Amino acid sequence: MNNLSKIKNIIVKNTQKLDCGMEISNFPLAYETYGKLNEKKDNAILVFHALSGDQFASGINPVTNKEGWWNHAVGAGKPFDTDKFFVICTNVIGGCMGSYGPNTIDSNTKKSIGTNFPVITINDMVNAQYNILDFFKIEKLFAVTGGSMGGMQVLQFVSNFPDKAQVAIPIACTASHSAQNIAFNELGRQAIMADENWKNGLYEKNNNNPDKGLAVARMAAHITYLSKKGLQEKFGRKLQESEDVKFGFDADFQIESYLRYQGSMFVDRFDANSYLYITRAMDYFDLTKQFGGNLSKAFEKSKTKFFIISFTSDWLYPTSENRDIVIALNAIGADVGFVEIKSDKGHDSFLLNVPDFLDTLKNYLKTTYLNLNEKRI
Amino acid sequence: MKKEFKVITELIEENSRVLDVGCGDGDLMKFLLQNKTIDIRGLEISKKNVQNCLSKGLAVIEGNAENDLSQFPNNSFDYVILSQTLQAFLNTERVINELLRIGKRAIVTIPNFGHWKMRLHLLIKGTMPVTEVLPNEWYNTPNLHMCSIKDFFNFCEKRNIKIFRSLALNKEKISSIDLSNLGIKNLISDLGIFLIENK
């Protein structure tokens, strides 16, 4: 990876107590921003990224030279319109794009922290990211949003900081990681840990990384992000090059080659230990349990307006789990909108060009910002 | 029907919490917000309609009134509105019970099947009535349980539901309905509007 110098970060001085009991302080939190913060500072949107994301939500990621992960949603004229809004995205702690994580170099040993990094939670991630509000001197965000693990952070954020966001838009997520979610994450972790290069997490960067394990983890996870129908339509049983199967174990089918490609691309930009830590944080996420089995209690102190979105073909974070959040909010009379968008693109729908989703989101943000901040009655 | 919206607006007190069940694309919700200071939510079954409502910034959730009203606590709204949707439910009685459970009061409006045109249509033509208000044929209508103003009156009496206000809309004219004029109102009105609560 090059261009690491293009990563902006703040150093969090405050001591933060983690859920595991450990304390951290003086740690880096990497961020990126898009658009301009207005004078009233009422147009800021904090975007939380998902498992494999980073702070580069829009434009070209200067480290990977690839498009930002939420290019369809963040940018000029897009739903999170950077001509109008100030969009902030930070790399989660435990991540590998400049925030404090397992690939941070320990100043004493001059080596990566690796698995000496503490096990973190979604709550820890959100508490760390909260520091970015102080840095920009933002009293209240217009919106917090994110899909998948980003959505979980939205829920945790509103619960932790009930008066810090006017609007919350959790997308394709859950309030409690299911057994199936944990199972798929465990599969990925086992693939990494089975790679002989993993070495209990104390491998040295750019030098015999557990790439094979991480690639398999990514391949398995990638399947869960798509729908059966989507896969069938895109790949079917199409063969890669030849007219017929080759009676071997090379990639005969296009789907095989596609997954191998996804795996190989991923290892270039992601750290295997980060994958372990972040999936663990997702598995530990159970907001309902945090509030003694009553999810409504997580939100009862908040006046935040919620807009919850799910997708018809998302079987990883299905509509029923998103609807549970809606039900919890309705039980306390919260201001909540909810729609299930029709899409064949599976869980990944929130990252892709799904016009019904993007149009609704764009209009919702525009109208809601107008109603809350621009109309002066 | 803008007149219907006006009548509903007048039935609702300021600063109340309102739920519009089957809110369509949010026209009534918008109208109410423009004319009253209220806190309003919507429930709607069609994705397209829900997307339109959300685009307008309205707090609408996608759902089916037959199942999804159960998630709202008792008395969580001052008013629950059901505008010209009652006839489309499978279990009409259960929906009305739910409206009166979650709302302190309910406002129900019904297209009047007792209108003389309906009666005449069936009498003369011998086929199921098709009108401007009810434009579908018997085989493709979403309306499963049509009723007349008189039917709704009788229903409320049988089920111990108190009718606070009952209004009839005939073209653009509004009038009150009571037991003395029920027969004629049932004959000439397009729409019945009822403000009800549990006794």
pLDDT tens-digit readout, A238-252 = 998 888 898 999 999
What tokens appear for B59 in the block? 């707090």
Annotated catalytic residue A148:
yes
pLDDT at A1: 47
Q: Quick one: average pLDDT of B37-43?
A: 97
Contacts of B62 in chain A (CB under 8 A): 338-340
Query: What number does CATH give the domain A4-177+285-374?
Result: 3.40.50.1820
pLDDT bucket at A3, cuts 50 / 70 / 90: low
Contact criterion met (CB < 8 Å) for B47 and A342:
yes
Provide CB contacts within 8 A for B108, sequence distance 6+.
Answer: B81, B82, B86, B96, B99, B152, B193, B194, B196
B85: number of Cβ within 10 Å: 21
Reported ipTM: the value is 0.91
Question: Which of A305, A326, A367 is opposite residue B61, by nearest beta carbon?
Answer: A326
**pLDDT band at residue A376 using 50, 70 and 90 as cut-offs:** low
Q: Other C-beta atoms within 10 Å of B128: how many?
A: 15
Q: Which residues of A touch B41 (CB under 8 A)?
A: 335-336
| Residue ranges in A237-313 assigned as alpha helix (H) | 254-269, 272-284, 287-290
Mean pLDDT of B4-32: 97
Distance CA A112, CA A103 (A): 5
Of A331, A338, A368, nearest to B57 by CB-CB distance is A368
Residue of A nearest to B52 (CA): A360
The one catalytic residue in A49, A72, A177, A347 is A347
One-letter identity of residue A10: I
pLDDT at residue A375, rounded to an integer: 76
Tell me how far apart the alpha carbons of residues A154 and A170 are, in angstroms, rounded to a whole number.
Answer: 6
- Please name each of the domains of chain B with its CATH number: 2-198 (3.40.50.150)
Q: Give CA–CA dist A344/A348, Å, rounded.
A: 10
What are the tens digits of pLDDT across the range B73-99? 999 999 999 999 999 999 999 999 999
User: Where exactly are the structural domains of chain A?
Assistant: 4-177+285-374, 182-279
Q: Is the pLDDT of residue A308 over 80?
A: yes
Beta strand residue intervals within A94-195, DSSP E: 141-147, 165-171
In the predicted structure, residue B2 carries a pLDDT above the cut 90: no
DSSP run (H or E) holding A24: strand A23-24
Contacts of A364 in chain B (CB under 8 A): 54-55, 57
- pLDDT of A259 higher than 60: yes
A347 flagged as catalytic: yes
The answer to whether the CB atoms of A370 and B59 lie below 8 A apart is no
What are the contacts of B143-146 at 24+ separation with CB within 8 A?
A: B143/B87, B143/B88, B144/B87, B144/B88, B144/B89, B144/B90, B145/B86, B145/B87, B145/B88, B145/B89, B145/B92, B146/B87, B146/B111, B146/B113
Rg of chain B over CA atoms, in angstroms?
16
Please identify, in words, the CATH class of the domain defined by A182-279: mainly alpha
**Best residue of B61, B64, B75 to probe chain A, by most A CBs closer than 10 Å:** B61
- For residues B81 and B104, give the distance between their C-alpha atoms in angstroms, rounded to a whole number: 11
pTM of the model: 0.95
What count of CB pairs under 8 Å joins A to B? 63
Contact A339 B58 (CB under 8 A): no
Average pLDDT over residues A119-133: 98
Q: Is A275 helix (H, G, I), strand (E, B) or coil?
A: helix
- Rounded to an integer, what distance in angstroms lies between the CA atom of residue A285 and that of residue B188? 61
Q: Any idea what DSSP says for residue A48? A: P
Q: Do B54 and A363 touch (CB under 8 A)?
A: yes
Query: In which band, very low, low, confident or very high, does the pLDDT at A374 lie, cut at 50, 70 and 90?
Result: confident
At A139-192, the pLDDT tens digits run: 999 999 999 999 999 999 999 999 999 999 999 999 999 999 999 999 999 999
Gap between the Cα atoms of A238 and A247, Å rounded: 15
Residues A263-284, mean pLDDT to the nearest whole number: 97
| Residue A177 is among the residues annotated as catalytic for this protein | no
In chain A, what is the greatest distance between 2 CA atoms, to the nearest angstrom? 73
Structural contact between residues A75 and A69, judged by C-beta atoms closer than 8 angstroms? no
Dig out the tokens for B143 from the structure: 């309306």
Distance (Å) from the alpha carbon of A286 to chain B's nearest alpha carbon: 21
The pLDDT score that the predictor gives to residue A4 is: 73
Q: Which residue is closest to B61 within chain A, CA to CA? A: A338
| pLDDT tops 60 at residue A255 | yes
Tell me the two tokens of residue A8: 């902006």
Mean pLDDT of A85-107: 96
